[in-house]
Chains A and B, each alone.
Chain A
Amino acid sequence: MRFLVCLKQVPDSTVKVKVGAGGKAVATEGITWSMSPYDEYAVELALERKDADPTTVVSVVTVGSARGRDALRQALAMGCDDATLVNAPEDLPALDVAKALAAVAKEMKPDIVLCGKQASDDDQGLVGPAVAEFLGWPHVGMLTKAVSSGDAWELWREVEGGHEVWKAKPPVVGLVHKSDKEPRYPSLPGIMKAKKKEIPEKDLASLGVTASSPKIEVAAMDLPPQRGGGKIFKLDGDAKAVAEQVANLLHTESKVL
Chain B
Amino acid sequence: MTPPTQGIWSFVLLAVTLIAAAAFGYRVWHLYRLLRLGKDESRLDHPWRRLRDELVVYLGQRKLIKRPYWIRGIGHALIFWGFLVITWGSADLLLRGIVGWQMPFTDTVWYAWMLDFFAVAVLASVAVAVLRRAVLRPARMHRMPEGYVILGLIGFLMLTLVVFESAFVASRRDELGGHFGTPPPLARLFAPLIPTPTGGALFAGAWWAHVLTILAFAVYLPRTKHLHIVTTLFNVGFRKQTPRGQLSLIKDIENQESFGAATIRDFSWKQLLDGYTCTECGRCSDNCPALATGKPLDPQKIVLDIRDQLLREGPKLLGAKLNGTKANGDAATPPSHWVETKPEELWACTTCAACVEACPVTIEHIDKIVDMRRHLTLMEGAAPPESQRAMTNIERAGNPWGEPRDARGDWAQGLEIPTIAEKPDAEYLYFVGCAASYDRRNQRVARALATILKSAGVSFAILGAAETCNGDPARRLGNEYLYQLQAQQNIETMNALRTRKVITSCPHCFNTIANEYPQIGGNYEVTHALPLVRRLIAEKRIALSEAGAGAPGREATTDVVAYHDPCYLGRHNGIYDEPRAVLDAIPGVVRKEIAPHHRERGFCCGAGGGRMWMEEKIGQRVNHRRIEQLVMADTKATKVASGCPYCLIMLEEGVGAKGIAEQVKPVDVLELVAARLQQNTTQGSAPN
Contact = CB atoms under 8 A, between A and B. Distances in A.
A187 B383 CA distance: 10
A34 interface: yes
B396 A188 contact: no
Contacts of A189: 257-258, 378-379
B381 A187 contact: yes
A16 B407 contact: yes
Interface in A190-244: 190-192
Given A13-B402, A32-B405, A188 B253 contact: yes
B378 A187 contact: yes
B196 interface: no
A141 B383 CA distance: 31
Contact of A181 (B380, B385, B392, B407): B385
A185 B391 contact: yes
Interface in B20-75: none
A182 B381 contact: no
A14 interface: yes
A188 B391 CA distance: 13
B485 to A, nearest CB: 11
Which range contains the number of A residues in contact with the other chain? Answer: 10 to 19
Interface residues of B, number: 26
Contacts of B259: 188
Nearest to A14: B397
Interface in A14-56: 14-16, 32, 34
A36 B378 CA distance: 24
A185 B381 contact: yes
A185 B388 contact: yes
A12 B385 contact: no
A167 interface: no
Contacts of B404: 14-16
A204 B385 CA distance: 39
A13 B404 CA distance: 9
Contact of B381 (A14, A15, A186): A186
Interface in B331-389: 377-381, 383, 385, 388-389
Nearest to B399: A14
A2 interface: no
Contacts of B407: 16
A184 B384 CA distance: 10
B395 to A, nearest CB: 9
A13 B393 CA distance: 10
A192 B254 contact: yes
B83 interface: no
Contacts of B253: 188
Contacts of A187: 378-381
A14 B404 CA distance: 5
A16 B393 CA distance: 14
Given A34-B396, A189-B257, A184 B389 contact: no
B439 interface: no
A197 B405 CA distance: 30
Contacts of A188: 253, 259, 378-379, 481
A14 B405 contact: yes
Nearest to B380: A187
A192 B252 CA distance: 12
Contacts of A12: 396-397
Nearest to A18: B406
A64 to B, nearest CB: 19
A189 B405 CA distance: 28
Nearest to B383: A185
Residue among A12, A34, A181, A182 with most chain B CB within 10 A:
A12
Contacts of A16: 404-407
A34 B397 CA distance: 11
A182 B389 contact: yes
B253 to A, nearest CB: 7
Contacts of B393: 14
Contact of A190 (B254, B381, B391): B381
7 contacts: A12-B396, A13-B402, A15-B404, A32-B405, A185-B388, A190-B381, A192-B254
Question: Which 7 residue pairs spanning A and B have beta carbons closest together?
Answer: A16-B404, A14-B397, A185-B388, A188-B378, A187-B381, A185-B381, A182-B385
Interface of A: 12-16, 32, 34, 181-182, 184-192
Given A12-B396, A16-B404, 19 more contacts: A12-B397, A14-B396, A14-B397, A14-B402, A14-B403, A15-B397, A15-B404, A16-B405, A32-B397, A34-B396, A185-B383, A185-B388, A185-B392, A188-B259, A188-B379, A189-B257, A189-B378, A189-B379, A191-B481
